[in-house]
């Protein structure tokens, strides 16, 4: 029989040539019933997967998600607390004199504004350290800084003690019982209107004397104080009235006292430049 072009030549099976019967083809009816082997390391997540394993994986993912949420919220709270702490520290720095550690001029102005809002009456004093320049010239700036720190501590302590004595209820710290450094060698006192300025001056004088004996190398400390009350002067003029009283105190005789004190006595409608002068040594005569 002649082969046509394109016909493939049939080759005899090698098994037949060797006398070995050819393997029988599997019956397709039985192939589907044989279970297929599967790699045990491969997990199937589908309808045929183990429901317990699926539930365990879902629970693990949920716990991880919750842990991430808790960590995020905790980190957020910590960051917010740290930010608030830094803001509070910055606010304290803006209201604190860096040399003496007591409130500065801005803090004093803020105190007066709060007193005006609440209607609290205060004695306001401007305190000047007399003859401070020679201390820097003779003893050096380090001695001058130490003197300023000593005076600041005395004024702050006396103001707090006097306020605690004359008030039955603890007053807001923002309204009374404070001292502030408002200039190079100038300070301010804020005490309740019920306090006696002469007693405050005596306390300051006694504290300076005690500190001078305690620190033998401390340069002489001489203070002049001008007082004004918000009961007699509008609060927006009380600092100017205290300045006027301070100018009068500087011209008063010292008579052996470390403190010269002058009080402003004008009524609200009078000029704030009207003052009467009294030294600490004369206050209780």
- Mean residue pLDDT of the chain comes to 79
CATH code: domain of residue 266 = 3.30.70.270
Mean pLDDT to the nearest integer, 119-148: 91
Any idea which residue has 């040594």 for tokens? 281
Q: How many domains does the chain have?
A: 1
Residue 238 counted as domain residue: yes
Q: Is residue 10 part of a domain?
A: no
Q: Characterize the bridge pairing of strands 223-229 and 186-192.
A: unpaired
Asked whether residue 37 is domain-assigned, the answer is: no
Predicted confidence (pLDDT) at residue 175 exceeds the cutoff of 60: no
Say whether 118 sits in a helix, a strand or coil.
helix
Confidence of residue 219 (pLDDT cuts 50, 70, 90): confident
Least confident of 65-69, 178-182, 184-188: 65-69
Say if 21 falls within a structural domain. no
DSSP state of 47: T
**130 assigned to some structural domain:** yes
Residue 65 lies in a domain: no
Two tokens, residue 78: 């910590």
Domain residues for the domain of 220 are 105-282
In this structure, the number of other CB atoms found within 10 A of the CB of residue 7 comes to: 8
* CB burial string 82-94: b at 16+ within 10 A, e below: eeeeeeeeeeeee
Copy the structure tokens of residue 184.
């190079």
What's this model's pTM, rounded to 2 decimal places? 0.66
User: Within a domain: residue 264?
Assistant: yes
Q: Does residue 182 belong to any structural domain of this protein?
A: yes
């Amino acid at each position: 029989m002649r082969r046509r072009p394109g016909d493939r030549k049939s080759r005899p099976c090698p098994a037949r040539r060797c006398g070995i019967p050819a393997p029988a083809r599997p019956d397709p009816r039985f192939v589907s019933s044989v279970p297929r082997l599967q790699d045990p390391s491969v997990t199937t997540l589908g309808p045929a997967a183990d429901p317990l394993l699926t539930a365990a994986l879902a629970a693990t993912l949920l716990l991880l998600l919750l842990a991430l949420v808790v960590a995020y919220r905790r980190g957020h709270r910590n960051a917010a607390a740290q930010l608030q702490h830094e803001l509070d520290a910055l606010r304290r720095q803006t209201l604190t004199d860096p040399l003496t550690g007591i409130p500065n001029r801005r803090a004093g102005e803020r105190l007066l504004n709060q007193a005006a809002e609440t209607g609290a009456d205060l004695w306001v004093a401007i305190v000047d350290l007399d003859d401070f320049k020679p201390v820097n010239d003779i003893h050096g700036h380090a001695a001058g800084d130490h003197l300023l720190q000593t005076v600041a501590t005395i004024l702050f302590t006396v103001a707090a003690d006097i306020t605690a004595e004359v008030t039955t209820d603890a007053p807001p710290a923002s309204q009374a019982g404070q001292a502030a450094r408002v200039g190079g060698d100038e300070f301010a006192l804020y005490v309740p209107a019920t306090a006696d300025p002469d007693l405050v001056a005596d306390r300051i004088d006694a504290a300076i004397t005690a500190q001078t004996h305690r620190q033998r190398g401390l340069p002489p400390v001489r203070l002049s104080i001008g007082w004004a009350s918000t009961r007699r002067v509008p609060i927006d003029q009380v600092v100017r009235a205290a300045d006027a009283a301070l100018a009068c105190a500087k011209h008063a005789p010292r008579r052996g006292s470390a403190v010269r004190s002058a009080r402003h006595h004008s009524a609200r409608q009078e000029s704030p430049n009207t003052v009467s002068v009294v030294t600490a040594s004369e206050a209780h005569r």
